[in-house]
Amino acid sequence: MQEVTENKEFTPNIVAFCCNWCSYAGADLAGSSRMTYPANVKIIRVPCSCRVNPTFILKAYQQGADGVIICGCHPGDCHYVTGNYYTRRRIALLFSMLNYMGIEKERTRLEWVSAAEGQKFSAVMNDFVKTITELGENKRLTDLRVKEGE
Amino acid sequence: MKEVETKMLERAKELLESGEVARVVGWKKGEFCYDPSPATFESVEELKDFTYDWFCGANLSKYLIQISKKEGKTAVFLKPCDTYSFNQLVKEHRIKRENIHVIAVECRGKFDIEKIKAKGISFVTGAQLDGTQVKVSTLYGEETLEKSDVVLTKCATCNKDYQVQDEAIILHERTKKDVDRFAEVAKLEAMTEEERFAFWREQLSKCIRCNACRNVCPACSCVKCVFDNPASEISAKVNSDKFEEQLFHIIRAFHVAGRCTDCGECSRVCPQHIPLHLLNRKFIKDIDNFYGEYQAGETAEGKTPLTSYTEGDTEPNDVFKGEAK
């Protein structure tokens, strides 16, 4: 039993909020171009990165996510013209607040990925998973109810 | 303060008698000298309980959301910090401005009974300002305290000025304080990540989820609140897990970011004495840093920082790098 726990590698739970028009298509392109990104990235499709309510991010953490990444169109390229400009302001404030509350700043990230950037999508996800794996399990934010055997 | 109260009472009587206003919103005497509560007075007879003293810290702006919808005009007494909240609510079309008659009243800072009690003084029967000192009378005699030790946290750093008024009852001038309201926020920012986490864990684990901070906040004026939604799983008033209070308080502060006038009511009403204003001030400080100085409630026009943008805004990933402008 001891051996099993020791050999068990930590695979982080990553939640990625991807905007329907750019990043989600970018993920699609990454797939169809045979580029890889880790399977533990769970993508949640949202109409626009602006749809991501700060509660979503905190709720993801509470329910056991180890990292949350938000992907949207590049500023100026939003399908809804200005959506991601608002995202940028909101998320900047939220990140700063999470850091102020003493939550590891590496756990949350925002990246602009366009529909043509399959390569970037794959690279960003690989890098993010690597960062979170190094950072370890999300202990500060999880809801005790969703943990097994504790 | 007695002269101010007399003047206010006279004016309230005048307004009610002449029929100029249908009601007056002010403060009513409580059971003790230190617990006056906000009240509506609809007749001259009701005014016998009217009071205005050093313990009238409550912000009356939020009550006007409901009251301004009633028939007839309403007169309201507003302190400097309340006028910001009032403006902000007018801007959000929550208050019908034309139905309100604003009377700006003098405020030189209000006292915090908890701080007086913390000094070991109980059975307080009154308090008066005497220069920079406060004379607290109790059943057992008089005690003298420094004013800076007993004013409400929100008053200690307040340099606000009246933003809106139809008339004013001001007998004493306010003195400008030479303090930085972000000093405490900066102190927290300078701590390490672990220290900050420990600090907020300790503070927020005291939270009993009474929702007083939400209910008193003039900016928190949604008819249907996200925390009242059972599906949000954060409406339960129990500490079911260690992150729930943090989630609640981050979201509470976030929902008023850019609209918070820093009136400090959240910290004043917290029965657990959690320094909630430090969360709101952090947002204000960040908004000032990233998007230029902004004071909510200064005007009743214009856009708030979170409902506007510029093309060259700070990137969220840069906020930690010290690259933010």
- Please state the rounded mean pLDDT for residues B123-143: 88
Mean pLDDT check: name the lowest of A125-129, B43-47, B299-303.
B299-303
pLDDT at A145: 61
Asked whether residue A2 is domain-assigned, the answer is no
Average pLDDT, chain B: 88
**Cα–Cα distance measured from residue A50 to residue B313, given in angstroms and rounded to the nearest whole number:** 15
Structurally, chain A folds into a number of domains equal to: 1
State the smallest CA–CA distance between residue A10 and chain B in angstroms.
22
What is the per-residue pLDDT across A52-85, written as a single tens digit (0 to 9) for each? 999 999 888 888 899 999 999 999 999 999 999 9
Which residue of chain A comes nearest to B201, CA vs CA? A101
A143 Cα to chain B: minimum distance (Å): 6
Asked if A18 contacts A51 with a C-beta cutoff of 8 angstroms, the reply is: no
- Mean pLDDT (chain A, rounded): 88
How far from chain centre, in Å, is Cα B175?
A: 20
Q: Do A99 and B319 touch (CB under 8 A)?
A: yes
Q: What is the domain-level CATH number for residue A113?
A: 3.40.50
Sole residue written with tokens 């004043």 = B268
Residue B12 pLDDT level (bands cut at 50, 70, 90): very high
Distance CA A58, CA B233 (A): 12
What ipTM is given for this predicted complex? 0.87
Burial of B35 (0-12, 13-18, 19+ CB in 10 A): exposed
Residue-wise pLDDT tens digits, A95-115: 999 999 888 888 999 999 999
Q: Are A121 and A113 in contact (CB under 8 A)?
A: yes
Instruction: Judge whether B190 is closer than 8 Å to chain A, CB to CB.
Output: no
Question: CA B15 → CA B12, B24, B44, distances in Å?
Answer: 5, 8, 10
Q: Which domain holds residue A64?
A: 11-145
SS3 state of residue A85: helix
The distance of A121 to chain B (nearest Cα, Å) reads 16
Pick from B226, B232, B279: nearest CA to B257: B279
